[in-house]
Structure 1
């Protein structure tokens, strides 16, 4: 990479990534007070298996919808999710009525004017809400299991079966906030974009799946809720280190699985930071 045009998109993507993690941490107390925990027992490791199975089912639904040309159905489902998750995120920050209006407004913008900055704004709110809700719903051990399993799955889905690349290219035409989009030039328009996500460094924008921010964010939020802010910040810093290595690979012009690096960094950062403040690995996991 050389020059501002090459560096700026990576800095912008890093800013979006960090925004999701920090907002997720900020939302944890409000989500806990509102009773948004999605599991009865946050410490039950079988939660990870159940939610991984749910992710597989939803991924299958997305692939089927793309291949059968049911984009309008997929778009409706995701836009409805945009409204709900954005409402959850905003309700912790602003009055209820304003949060309702904000959620509806963001969903409407995504539906009728999905420019890159609209998609990115929706992605930050959705990603933070998702990471925050899962963070208070998964204790440390279930969160760790989820991150490890999804890292392996992401590697298989990108490098072996390649169905994740097929899915990414399929949903791009729908202009939905399932990925972050950072332009490489001032005149870029996501609405008019025809790039394939898999074109890497030669495309007109830099792309990263929303899940690449949400999944490590689950451990960040879980650490903030169940252990403390120091391990949470450590997980965030570790994930950011993984992000830097991921972007170096992306800069080479080829698609790469993000979760092995991002989740691996988050896990390492969590344990290092916990140990630095006097919490042993077993204590950090609640064992």
Structure 2
């Protein structure tokens, strides 16, 4: 069985040294329950306020999806999974990948401060460059992901096409004598981008909006929003540079340019709209 808390606020004056007693918690006996209620006293700007937390037993319905957003999300999720299994064409894979990426960006972006995200981005960019240019196993992995039709890559065909995005096995190839598998006819000009190339810059944008000091910015928008926009612009510039290399027909590691552009955009916009407080290394190991 679960439980929930209901918050009731009211003003309360409490004497004492505010510097020594910024917060106090008091139990309140609840004869109708095995658990006590509580009153939390907090000091802010020299004034005290209290919050009353009342224990409310739950009948288990809190664990059921019964709200309109929950039912809508459940139905859409089942529908997208069915479409991915029954008709895994490029636009279905892209749609599922974008939705999965958006959820990942939101959950992780609000969970980590920008410096943690930046460290992850630098490490991921180094690994991506090594995997593409040195070991080259990323190219084989991309072919495998395309053949498995998993929503971990974004597919961009250069001309309208129907059918599955798959690699055609050359004549004479076998499991004992494998040969490079070129794209099937009509897919020679298809561009592929890993979902991580979109997720990492997005993480930094959401993290900036969630964790940076909430200062006023131009046009009535807060400073963290402008930093997120600057981060996005930097990533888009890196994307344009990346596309100039991709247009030459050679595989390119996306994260060094995309993450690099996003990080540079973050640093520049954070310095302009927030200042040095945006670069505080606010990370604790304990």
TM-score category, normalised to shorter length: 0.5 to 0.7
Counterpart of 2:226 (choices 230, 245, 248) is 230
Task: Give 2:193's aligned residue.
Answer: 208
1:166 and 2:140 are equivalent in the alignment: yes
Counterpart of 1:154 in structure 2 is 128
SS in structure 1 at match of 2:238: helix
Equivalent residue, structure 2, for 1:87: none
Structure 1 unaligned segments of length 5 or more: list them: 1-90
The list of structure 1 runs, each at least 4 consecutive aligned residues, that deviate by more than 2 angstroms after superposition, is 187-199, 282-287
Would the alpha carbon gap of residues 182 and 197 (structure 1) be closer, same or farther in structure 2, given more than 3 Å must change? farther
Match of 1:37 in 2: none
Contact 2:270 2:278 in 1 (8 A): no
The structure 1 residue matched to 2:112, chosen from 138, 151, 164, is: 138
Structure number with higher strand proportion: 2
Q: TM-score scaled by structure 1?
A: 0.62
How far has the Cα of 1:188 moved from its partner?
A: 4.1
Q: Which has the higher helix share?
A: 1
TM-score (norm 2): 0.62
Shift of 1:197: 9.5
Q: Contact between 2:105 and 2:199, CA under 8 Å: does it hold in 1?
A: yes
1:274 lines up with 2:270 in the alignment: yes
Aligned-partner SS, 1:114? coil
Structure with higher Rg: it is 2
Q: Does 1:257 align with 2:250?
A: no
Pairwise CA distance, 1:106: 0.8
Q: Distance in 2 between matches of 1:212 and 1:191?
A: 20
The Cα of 1:193 is off from its aligned counterpart by 5.7
Could you say what secondary structure the match of 1:137 adopts?
A: coil
**CA positional deviation for 1:189:** 2.8
C-alpha contact 2:101 2:198 (8 A) present in aligned 1: yes
Q: Deviations 1:186-235 (Å, cap 9, x if unpaired)?
A: 23433566498987xx8232211111101121111111111211111111
Gaps of at least 5 residues in structure 2 are: 1-64, 170-179, 213-223
Q: Number of aligned residue pairs: give it.
A: 192
Contact 1:165–1:198 (8 Å) recurs in 2: no
Following the alignment from structure 1 to structure 2, what is the Cα–Cα distance between the partners of residues 140 and 101? 34
Q: Any conservation in 2 of the 1:197–1:207 contact (CA below 8 Å)? A: no
Q: What is the aligned-residue RMSD (CA, Å)?
A: 2.3
SS in 2 for 1:254: coil
Cα distance in 2 between the residues matched to 1:137 and 1:266: 19
Q: Answer whether contact 1:140 1:286 (CA < 8 A) is retained.
A: no
Q: Which residue is equivalent to 2:99?
A: 125
Residue in 1 aligned with 2:278? Answer: 283
CA contact (8 A) 2:168 2:181 kept: no
